[in-house]
Structure 1
Amino acid sequence: MAHTTETLVVQHTPGGGPGRWGAWLAEGGLDLRVVRPYAGEPLPDRLEHAALLVLGGAYLPDDDARAPWLATARGLVRDALDREIPMVGICLGGQMLATVAGGAVQPEYGEPEFGSTRLTLRAEAADDPLFHGLPAHPPAIENHVDAIVRLPEGARWLARSERCPYQAFRVGTAAWGVQFHPESSPERIALWSAERLERHGVDREELRRRAAADEAALTEVWREVALRFAALARNRG
């Protein structure tokens, strides 16, 4: 692969863009190519990029009937794994990584998680290229009802929460999946569907206030992870 700093970003929904990670990856020296297949923009069949970022969305990883581009997105995840191209999968993207690598996801499984949530790093995070040296209990913004129920064989399990065990993991040397939204912000919570949250007994404004109280820690931790990922992608590009 020719040297490049371009990162392919797969955006599944109109409101699900790269958010703060777009600015942080750019700060780390990566150029972003955001593709919006829901709007008819075609995904490539093969990665010719320094890295891959697969974002979240209100689908299961194999929900091809509603989102026919997911098959191509899964192929890109497989390509990243096979060629050790650095990738991060966020929420749906993390679930996609889990299933492509042999794990399993269940719809509406366990207790939903919304808003700023306390994570617990596992011992395996201590020497991980992205998660080493982070606070033991960093906050992260959650917005999911589906969940990973089995990690791929050989995956490194990096973080958990009280309600959802598989919050972060790594497959191979350079593919990470997270259930939470490191790209999100308190301001973005204000754009979430109030009706959807109310169905789960959650108040959107209260979620935003709690996330705002954690804003300094959210920014410090997930900016550092984004910059580490950008450095990894640059060095392998």
Structure 2
Amino acid sequence: MARLLVIVPSDTDPPARLGGWLRAAGLELDERHLSLGEPVPADLTGHDGLLVLGGPQSSLDPADVSPELVGVRHLLAQALAADLPTLAICLGAQLLAQVGGGSTRVGVDGPEVGAALVAKRDAADGDPVFGPVPLSPDVIEWHHDEIDRLPAGATLLASSPAYRNQAYRVGRQVYGLQFHIETDEAMVRGWAETDPVGVASTPFDVETICARAGDVHPDLEEVWAPFAERFAGLVHAQAAGRSGPG
């Protein structure tokens, strides 16, 4: 079975529904929960793909503030070098941009929080994973930092009115999503109840943010479950190549 290494920097952002879609697509998930002290592998040996999720840490944190992210950066750099099927979400996408030679900063227009729409860019049409996504899909945003510069040669796949670099691809198989597709209602409520700065940046209170997210969760599944299946296809192909003929 194709094995996906799943790095969970914080248990506030587990694989949740995304994990279910990937398992349904036939992947074995090797989850490493960093907040539980589970180790980050030194390399990607024995894995056919990589998923890095989000968390309250900042991509701008130095090693003494968020030492658990040091190993995550090393894995992302290895995945980039090998063009291994990779999906990096929110904090993961920011770390990916950094290790690829791009940069992040505190969001110049403040946090981007709650149910939102992003707009697919023309370059996404030919992408095997992102291409079938609708022109303006629903997503959940929850970030205080932004990716202000993509790695050289990266392909921008989606943008939002607030922040341009919402989805991108580096190489052929490495994807970064600034937004969330994995959420369930309990996760969004947890974020809203513990992030007063983020909530205050919106026109809404906690209950309204949660209700709006709940309203779009069925639409997220309709769009992003097939996206997850297409990404899983890359991982399966990688596994087939690793195992060789026969």
TM-score calculated relative to the size of structure 2? 0.90
- Counterparts of residues 119-138 of structure 1 (less than 5 Å): 119-138=118-137
Residue 37 of structure 2 corresponds to residue 40 of structure 1:
yes
Contact persistence 1:62–1:71 (CA under 8 A): no
What is the aligned residue count? 234
Residue 95 of structure 2 corresponds to residue 106 of structure 1:
no
Contact persistence 1:189–1:204 (CA under 8 A): no
Aligned residue identity for 1:23: G
Determine which of 51, 55, 59 is the counterpart of 2:53: 55
Mapped to 1, the partners of 2:109 and 2:64 lie a distance apart of 25
Contact persistence 1:110–1:147 (CA under 8 A): no
Q: What's the counterpart of residue 171 of structure 1?
A: 170
Determine which of 15, 18, 37 is the counterpart of 2:15: 18
Mapped to 2, the partners of 1:53 and 1:162 lie a distance apart of 26
Q: What's the counterpart of residue 146 of structure 2?
A: 147
Q: Percent identity?
A: 37
Give ranges in structure 1 of 5+ residues lacking alignment: none
Deviation of 1:138 (Å): 0.4
What secondary structure does 2:191 align onto? coil
Aligned residue identity for 1:50: D
Q: Deviations over 1:7-56 (max 9, x none)?
A: 11111112111111110000111011111223221111100201100010
Mapped to 1, the partners of 2:107 and 2:54 lie a distance apart of 15
Judging changes above 3 Å, is the alpha-carbon distance between structure 1 residues 24 and 154 closer, same or farther for their aligned structure 2 residues? same
RMSD: 1.5
Deviation of 1:58 (Å): 1.6
Aligned residue identity for 1:61: S
Q: What's the counterpart of residue 87 of structure 1?
A: 86
Q: Deviations over 1:102-138 (max 9, x none)?
A: 1010024323211110110000110112111221110
Determine which of 232, 235, 241 is the counterpart of 1:233: 235
Determine which of 213, 216, 231 is the counterpart of 2:215: 213
Give ranges in structure 2 of 5+ residues lacking alignment: 240-246
Structure 1 segments of 4+ aligned residues over 6 angstroms from their partners:
none
Q: Deviations over 1:29-86 (max 9, x none)?
A: 1011111223221111100201100010122235222221211111100111111210
Contact persistence 1:95–1:179 (CA under 8 A): yes
